[in-house]
């Protein structure tokens, strides 16, 4: 996708972190913005920092794990701006526990927000984006957790691997269909955002996670520290995304140091070797 100015971007999870920086960059590119988040008060505060005139902005409280709310977001976006050109399926949550301490509600929450949201985003936006006949692009936020299997994050890893394979599948299909809409997958490592405090947004219907103890507590502590010490920023992620969309590049993997771990996993598979533990 070459032209951003005057076109419309829809960004989920836009109240904070990477989503907010995607919004800031899209605003700077001259796009109209449809910003969605479950934390509406914070979304309003964050959107105010973008300095956009009201006619270029639509805010919608959206729980991305609910299909009806994604459908309503799509309807509102197309009704307000007449088209959608860039869709960033970005909202996400993290949970750190050993696999055997994930409850069914833990799995449903993480898969609902991180994976079903992307599935529903594609279902409700893409057919209309294809119909409108303009160039367009979908960016799905996965993670290096979609390329590796870090211990202590089973539901998160499963959700993010799901986003990678969903995006790869879609890429091949859009190519075969000679579509004017492209797709990229964003796979960051640690970025200092609010992701380690995801439980703030856990909907009542999922209850709360059992307190972490033992190994789960150690993984939780390590994940919090890793997020806070991330060297690349959310703004760096937005720059990488916009460069990739402009070039039509699929994989957006800003932390290149992670290549060694991806290579090691690939070598383990190719050599039928047991998985090398990740540090
Ligand atoms: N920060 C990292 O280290 C990192 C690394 C890899 C991938 N990611 C991914 O980046 C994406 C953005 O996360 P972030 O790091 O900016 O964290 P963040 O917590 O700062 O932002 C996530 C946003 O998603 C929103 N959200 C949560 N549940 C929602 C729901 N049900 N419906 C709608 N919105 C909801 C939150 O309110 C928040 O505004 C996520 O998909 C995350 O998995 C983050």
Could you state, in order of their start, the residue ranges of all structural domains in the chain? 8-270
pLDDT at 15 over 80: yes
Cα–Cα nearest to 171, from 117, 111, 249, 247: 249
Query: At 65, is the pLDDT very low, low, confident or very high (cuts 50, 70, 90)?
Result: very high
The three-state secondary structure class of 196 is: helix
DSSP3 helix / strand / coil % (the chain, rounded to 5): 55, 15, 35
pTM for this predicted structure: 0.98
Query: At 47, is the pLDDT very low, low, confident or very high (cuts 50, 70, 90)?
Result: very high
Q: Ligand 1 centre from 91 Cα, in Å?
A: 5
The tens digit of pLDDT for each residue in 162-213 reads 999 999 999 999 999 999 999 999 999 999 999 999 999 999 999 999 999 9
Cα–Cα nearest to 95, from 86, 105, 87: 105
In whole angstroms, give the CA distance from residue 165 to residue 168: 5
With b for 16 or more beta-carbon neighbours within 10 A and e for fewer, the 168-199 pattern comes to eebbeebeeeebebbbbbbbbbbbbbbbbebe
- The CATH classification number of 8-270 equals 3.40.50.720
The tens digit of pLDDT for each residue in 110-151 reads 999 999 999 999 999 999 999 999 999 999 999 999 999 999
Residue 195 Cβ contacting ligand 1 at under 6 Å: yes
The single residue of 156, 171, 219, 251 carrying the catalytic annotation is 156
Residue 227 Cβ contacting ligand 1 at under 6 Å: yes
Question: Is 156 among the residues known to form the active site?
Answer: yes
Percent of residues, the chain, with pLDDT higher than 70:
100
Sheet holding 136-141, edge to edge: 57-61, 32-37, 8-12, 86-89, 136-141, 181-186, 251-252
**Dihedral over alpha carbons 26, 6, 185, 130 (to 10 degrees):** 160
| Residue of minimum CA distance from atom 32 in ligand 1 | 63
Ligand 1: which of 10, 12, 15, 17 to mutate, most ligand atoms within 8 Å of CB? 17
The three-state secondary structure class of 140 is: strand
For the chain, the straight-line distance linking the first and the last C-alpha, in angstroms and rounded, comes to 38
Q: Give pLDDT, residue 267.
A: 98
Residue 38 near residue 201 (C-beta atoms within 8 A):
yes
């Amino acid at each position: 996708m070459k032209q951003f100015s005057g076109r419309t971007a829809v960004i989920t999870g836009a109240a904070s972190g990477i989503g907010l920086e995607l919004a800031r960059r899209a605003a700077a590119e001259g796009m109209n913005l449809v910003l969605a988040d479950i934390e509406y008060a914070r979304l309003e505060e964050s959107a105010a920092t973008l300095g956009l005139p009201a006619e270029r902005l639509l805010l919608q409280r959206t729980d991305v794990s609910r299909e009806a709310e994604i459908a309503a977001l799509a309807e509102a976006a197309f009704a307000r701006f007449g088209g959608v050109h860039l869709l960033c399926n970005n909202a996400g949550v993290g949970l750190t526990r050993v696999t055997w301490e994930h409850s069914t509600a833990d799995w449903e929450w993480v898969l609902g927000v991180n994976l079903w949201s992307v599935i529903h985003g594609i279902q409700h936006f893409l057919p209309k984006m294809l119909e409108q006949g303009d160039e367009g692009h979908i960016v799905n936020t996965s993670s290096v957790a979609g390329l590796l299997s870090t211990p202590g994050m089973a539901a998160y890893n499963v959700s993010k691997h799901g986003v990678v394979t969903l995006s790869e599948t879609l890429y091949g299909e859009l190519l075969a269909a000679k579509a004017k809409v492209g797709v990229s997958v964003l796979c960051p490592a640690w970025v200092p955002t609010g992701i380690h405090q995801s439980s703030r947004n856990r909907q009542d219907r999922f209850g709360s996670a059992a307190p972490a103890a033992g190994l789960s507590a150690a993984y939780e502590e390590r994940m919090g520290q890793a997020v806070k010490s991330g060297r690349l920023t959310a703004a760096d992620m937005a720059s990488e995304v916009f460069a990739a969309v402009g070039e039509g590049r699929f994989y957006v993997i800003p932390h290149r140091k992670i290549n060694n771990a991806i290579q090691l996993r690939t070598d383990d598979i190719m050599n039928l070797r047991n998985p090398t533990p990740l540090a």
